[in-house]
Structure 1
Amino acid sequence: MRIVSIGECMVELSGAGADLWRSSFAGDTFNTAWYARAKLPSAMVDYVTCVGSDPISDRMVQFMSSAGIGTEHINRHPTRSVGLYMIELQNGERSFSYWRDQSAARCLADDLDAIERAIQGADYVYLSGITLAILPREKLGDLLSVLSGSNMVFDPNLRPRLWENGDVMRADVMRAAAQATVVLPSFEDEQTHFNDQTPFDTAQRYADAGATEIMVKNGGGDMVVCVNGACETIAVGAPIEPVDTTGAGDSFNGAYLAARLAGQEPHSAARAAHETAARVIQHRGALMDMGNLN
């Protein structure tokens, strides 16, 4: 069993007291890889990105490796380094400041042959809208061509600040979704940027694009899962007051893919993933210690 996740990992700064900041490493696709590895230790989970050749990049790669995440497909850039973001919290909800415009990860699609080698034999190849957004426009089609034929899993993870404009974001997200087998959207984002009225609308749009399995996350609300056109609502119970929502969707995605790879049906995988995300939002930062998840 093998999952390959493609995207950007960054230095994360989160509050540790007045004028104090704690550093770690995180990023949506890496977070998903982390939680997939935590929930299914028997699986191989590899991360594909580009980092620098400097000490902080060395620390990042060592951090990944120490967590049991494969790093052999990570490229090194000779002059760029990794990006950085800072989390600020208010009532458990996060806001971010980013420094990533010149990150090495923006060059992750420069060596497409390396990506093609990395995804060989993978049960799932995972990427997000952020993976697409950080690439130069001319590289997007090339990357999707390399991924064609793989069992691609896609989280739209709509972040308009990373895109030229909303129309470009929506077009490129749907272009990628049309190639995906599994799509893992978040209803709040889809409602905002695609004007979906219900989670069923979101599921139907991605099914119409060609995805055969759509798992619509919905924060604290009921979720919707559709497989081959058959949809069902998944009740999640009373909402939970979060400490920090950072990584909620990513942890859901990782746990969902782990459960599906282990043979669970979509509805039971969704419930297991929701339980994982509910635990993650009770702690600060994107990554919860693996030993506390099982």
Structure 2
Amino acid sequence: MRFLAIGEAMLELSEQAPPLWAMNVAGDTFNTAWHVRQLAGAQTEVAYLTCLGQDPFSDRIAGFIAAAGVETRFIRRDPARGPGLYAISLSEGERSFTYWRDQSAARRLAEDPAALSAALSWAGMAYLSGITLAILSPAARDRLLAALARARQNGVQVAFDPNIRPRLWEDAAVMRAVIGQAAALSDIILPSFEDEATHFGDASLADCARRYGAAEGRTVIVKNGGQDVLIAIGGQQIHVPLTPVTPVDTTGAGDAFNAGWLVSHSAGLSPEACLAAAHGLATQVIGRKGALG
């Protein structure tokens, strides 16, 4: 498998023993790429598509990505911008974020059509999130979605986590419309039920899977905050009860779950085995601070 993740890698500040903070590198789609690289065998290539600046902190991010074994050939550099930054605040294991990303270079990751085409031509699976789309201009979103549609026609699988973050979008109507567009050209969709119920009005896990087109042949895995998960593949629905785990830090749990599912799915494992791998990895992640520990 050639796995291409698309999005924003940021500097992450996580509080240690006050007043000390640790600086790491994280970001939803990058977190998934990082875990895919750790889980997958040598026959799997993993690459990240983003845009960074030409400053020392951007160099630090690029170096971290490369040191993790993730290919950096599809990372563009913008001389006028730098990386985004976020800080994690924790309360009983639940996190909230403060962001500094308005001038992030990653907002320009889809500005070069030729670069998009080259990256997607390389990939066997392309993975993106709602955050990837939310940080782009409307024209860049259209450019990225069109490139993904062409790649899918050429045999590239598309995996998508809606990862709903309303504050990143112009308004709720645009958010729902663009997420719907991305889902329509995806093969695997990994929504989180609480967010979907809040912003799309889904009354049940089955409603969420149905809205995302499970009956049309898509694979939809509805995550549920460590509780019951619904796996919908075509007309088949599998409800799997999970035992909730008390978290230290939930940052990156969904990203890790996605990696566990996608690697296991690509290896041809059963849905139940894919879920066990995904849930096991997410459980490890929430037992420590930070998205990647």
Which TM bucket (shorter chain)? Answer: over 0.9
Count of residues paired in the alignment: 287
TM-score of the superposed pair, with normalisation by structure 2: 0.95
1:292 corresponding residue in structure 2 = none
Rounded Cα–Cα distance in structure 2 between residues aligned with 1:240 and 1:208? 28
Residue 122 of structure 1 deviates from its aligned partner by 2.1
Rounded Cα–Cα distance in structure 1 between residues aligned with 2:226 and 2:260? 17
1:282 corresponding residue in structure 2 = 287
- Check whether the contact 1:180–1:211 (CA below 8 A) recurs between aligned residues: no
2:213 corresponding residue in structure 1 = 207
Rounded Cα–Cα distance in structure 2 between residues aligned with 1:142 and 1:211? 25
- Check whether the contact 1:183–1:211 (CA below 8 A) recurs between aligned residues: no
Q: 2:220 aligned with 1:226, yes or no? A: no
Following TM superposition, the consecutive aligned residue runs of length 4 or more in structure 1 with deviations greater than 3 angstroms are: 208-211
Rounded Cα–Cα distance in structure 2 between residues aligned with 1:203 and 1:268? 20
Residue 2 of structure 1 deviates from its aligned partner by 1.2
Q: 2:173 aligns with which of 156, 167, 179?
A: 167
Any gaps of 5 or more consecutive residues in structure 1? 289-294
Residue 210 of structure 1 deviates from its aligned partner by 5.0
Q: 2:268 aligns with which of 239, 263, 268?
A: 263
Rounded Cα–Cα distance in structure 2 between residues aligned with 1:265 and 1:246? 27
Residue deviations 1:48-77 (CA, integer Å, cap 9, x gap): 000000111111111010110010110000
State the percentage of identical aligned residues.
49
SS at match of 1:18: coil
Q: Higher relative contact order by CA 8 Å / sep ≥ 6: 1 or 2? A: 1
- Check whether the contact 1:10–1:82 (CA below 8 A) recurs between aligned residues: yes
2:5 corresponding residue in structure 1 = 5
After superposition, the Cα gap between the structure-2 partners of 1:210 and 1:110, relative to the gap in structure 1 and judged at 3 Å, is farther
Moved more, 141-150 or 206-215: 206-215
Q: 1:154 aligns with which of 140, 160, 185?
A: 160
Rounded Cα–Cα distance in structure 2 between residues aligned with 1:223 and 1:98? 30
2:140 corresponding residue in structure 1 = 139
Residue 283 of structure 1 deviates from its aligned partner by 0.4
Any gaps of 5 or more consecutive residues in structure 2? none
2:187 corresponding residue in structure 1 = 181
Rounded Cα–Cα distance in structure 2 between residues aligned with 1:38 and 1:104? 27
2:107 corresponding residue in structure 1 = 106
SS at match of 1:138: helix
> Which residues of 2 match residues 25-64 of structure 1 at below 5 A?
25-42=25-42, 43-64=44-65
SS at match of 1:153: strand
- Check whether the contact 1:182–1:211 (CA below 8 A) recurs between aligned residues: no
- The amino acid that maps onto 1:99 is W
- Check whether the contact 2:215–2:234 (CA below 8 A) recurs between aligned residues: no
Residue 94 of structure 1 deviates from its aligned partner by 0.2
- Check whether the contact 1:177–1:211 (CA below 8 A) recurs between aligned residues: no
TM-score of the superposed pair, with normalisation by structure 1: 0.95
- The amino acid that maps onto 1:154 is F
Rounded Cα–Cα distance in structure 2 between residues aligned with 1:244 and 1:255? 18
Rounded Cα–Cα distance in structure 2 between residues aligned with 1:169 and 1:212? 21
Rounded Cα–Cα distance in structure 1 between residues aligned with 2:112 and 2:164? 25
SS at match of 1:49: strand
